[in-house]
């Protein structure tokens, strides 16, 4: 009886998320086995440190300060304000200038707002429609204040997107792994002041993307607006045309 109950609950959750039953579970299981090749570039976010790392294999190429979700624990709902932990795949670089944050999605006061996500967003595959994006609240960087999205300063994400392309992996962790890339090792690397390699994985950006969100046909995504994440904090935006924001 218990196993039947669990199966019914799993089906219900999959339906509510708009995903085929078992799709997210199998994808997560597969991703858990992932590890980078020595020449492979990927992104790592360490929630406890409020940092995003651009890496190549085991090497750290660049470090950025970020803001993360204000919620804690395991992410279960699109509106729980938690930044999820796991291995994800970059979907695309999006023009976020016309994305709209609607505070009503989170039962918060205020009117829908534009210009809260900065100019660019890095969309990654996830059932909550979250993204990495810029912000109109630079003071929030380094804090746990978003509705689930990962927020960077506008100048930082503008630099970062030159080194990001669809298919890259994004690893989000609660805390750093012990080992050679410990805090002490990182501080030593930062002290050397090494810049990013001159050869980046730059991709052509969408010329005219003016929609309000991330993944078409999914739950509205979270936005960060600290004013009323993504509009400032990782909250969901209002769907415009077929897309919604993160």
Active site members: 133, 149
Q: Compute CA 72 distance to the chain's CA centroid, rounded to the nearest angstrom.
A: 16
Q: In Å, how far are 127, 170, 226 from 17, measured between CA atoms?
A: 6, 21, 26
SS3 call for 122: strand
- Closest by Cα among 93, 83, 86 to 34: 86
Dist CA 186 CA 183 (whole Å)? 5
- The H or E element that residue 145 is part of is strand 144-146
Core vs surface per residue 130-150: b (16+ CB within 10 A) or e: bbbbbbbbeebbebbbbbbbb
- Tokens at residue 3, please? 């196993």
As a dihedral over the C-alpha atoms of residue 35, residue 60, residue 52, residue 130, rounded to 10 degrees, the angle is: -40
SS3 of 47-109: CCCCEEEEEECCEEEEEEECEEECCCCCCCCCCCCCCCCEEEEEEEEEECCCCCECHHHHCCC
């Amino acid at each position: 009886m218990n196993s039947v109950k669990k199966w019914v609950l799993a089906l219900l959750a999959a339906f509510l998320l708009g995903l085929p039953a078992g799709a997210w579970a199998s994808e997560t299981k597969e991703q858990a086995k992932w590890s980078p090749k020595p020449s492979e570039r990927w992104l790592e976010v360490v929630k406890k440190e409020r940092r995003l790392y651009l890496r190549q294999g085991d090497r750290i190429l660049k470090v950025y300060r970020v803001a993360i979700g204000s919620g804690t624990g395991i992410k279960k709902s699109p509106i729980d304000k938690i930044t999820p932990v796991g291995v994800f795949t970059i979907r695309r670089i999006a023009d976020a200038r016309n994305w709209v944050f609607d505070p009503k999605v989170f039962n918060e006061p205020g009117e829908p707002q534009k210009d809260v996500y900065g100019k660019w967003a890095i969309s990654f595959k996830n059932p909550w429609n979250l993204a990495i994006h810029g912000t109109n609240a630079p003071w929030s960087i380094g804090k746990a204040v978003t509705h689930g999205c990962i927020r960077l300063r506008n100048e930082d994400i503008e630099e970062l997107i030159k080194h990001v392309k669809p298919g890259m992996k994004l690893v989000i962790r609660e805390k750093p792994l012990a080992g050679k890339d410990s805090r002490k090792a990182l501080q030593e690397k930062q002290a050397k002041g090494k810049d990013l390699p001159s050869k980046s994985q730059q991709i052509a950006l969408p010329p005219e993307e003016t929609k309000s969100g991330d993944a078409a046909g999914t739950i509205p995504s979270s936005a960060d607006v600290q004013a009323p994440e993504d509009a400032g904090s990782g909250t969901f935006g209002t769907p415009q045309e077929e897309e919604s924001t993160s």
